[in-house]
Amino acid sequence: MAQKYTSQVVEWKPSKMQPSNIRQHLGVPSSRGFLVLLIIIYKYLREYRIGPCDVTSKKDLENLVAEISKKEKYISLLLAGAGISGPKAEPNSSDAVELKDKLFNSESFEEWGTTFNTNVSAVYFTTVCFLPLLQAAHKVHGSMSSSVIVISSMSGIMRHAQGHFSYNAAKGATVHLSKLMSYEFKEIGVRVNSIAPGYFPSEMTVGESDETQKSHLKDEKIQEKGHVPMQRPGSDEEMAMAVLFLAKNNYVNGEIIAVDGGVLLDVPGR
């Protein structure tokens, strides 16, 4: 389901509603990180729903932008975070023949292509499709006020494959794509930065979610990995703080921020 998402847009106006009431308005579980994100992104309280969008489809992306454009004259923030893990093959053999067979036979060009399209190409085409709406924010908030935040991964800036050559290579491409877009899109006043998360509870890391679409990752699972100095997964609040910083600080552009609990202090990277 990483290639599809359903979005709910809520705009928040301090004079009309307090942050503590947003959760009740939406009917979602309490989450300080979720509330912080709402406060960052939206200006007035108005709710509407947008149907599923395949972010690997140009037609779907154009339809999504057209639907939003009917309701909004501009957007100030775009979060690009669709992703899939792709095939996995552990490179844990000291025999070249065995290693070749394990890596060559357990993955396909098609799987690599799907991983790249979802994690990289979709980020590019989604961002490009939203550029007019992003630039339109300048008329209200000034140049460089609109921002794209690409959710990449610590896997894209480490040298350890983790058995995920295709995923880590794709996330490395996502990281570099963010840098390319930040340079090229500065001419139209759109900032692009990237967050490279470490281990956070998600369907990708845990493999499931509960009835509220919330995943849970126990500290013990992280401690077993042996390379996470914080000894626990990241929280919603910690991700939200990184988003808040990049969304609000107009003086930051082209940066890759690892929110990884210190993993890259133990695992070779960057």
Q: Which residues are catalytic?
A: 152, 167, 171
Asked if residue 223 lies in contact with residue 172, where contact means CB atoms within 8 angstroms, the answer is no
Residues 65, 133 contacting (CB under 8 angstroms): yes
Q: How far, in Å, CA of 253 to CA of 186, rounded?
A: 9
Question: In terms of DSSP bridges, do strands 47-54 and 4-10 run parallel, antiparallel, or are they unpaired?
Answer: antiparallel
Which residues 6+ apart lie within 8 Å of 169 measured at CB? 116
Distance CA 214, CA 209 (A): 5
- Tokens representing 149 are 């935040």
User: Rounded to an integer, what distance in angstroms lies between the CA atom of residue 231 and that of residue 92?
Assistant: 25
Q: How far apart are CA 192 and CA 195, in angstroms?
A: 10
User: Exposure string (b/e) for 186-223, b if CB count within 10 Å is 16 or more?
Assistant: eeebbbbbbbbbbbbbeeebbeeeeeeeebebeeebbe
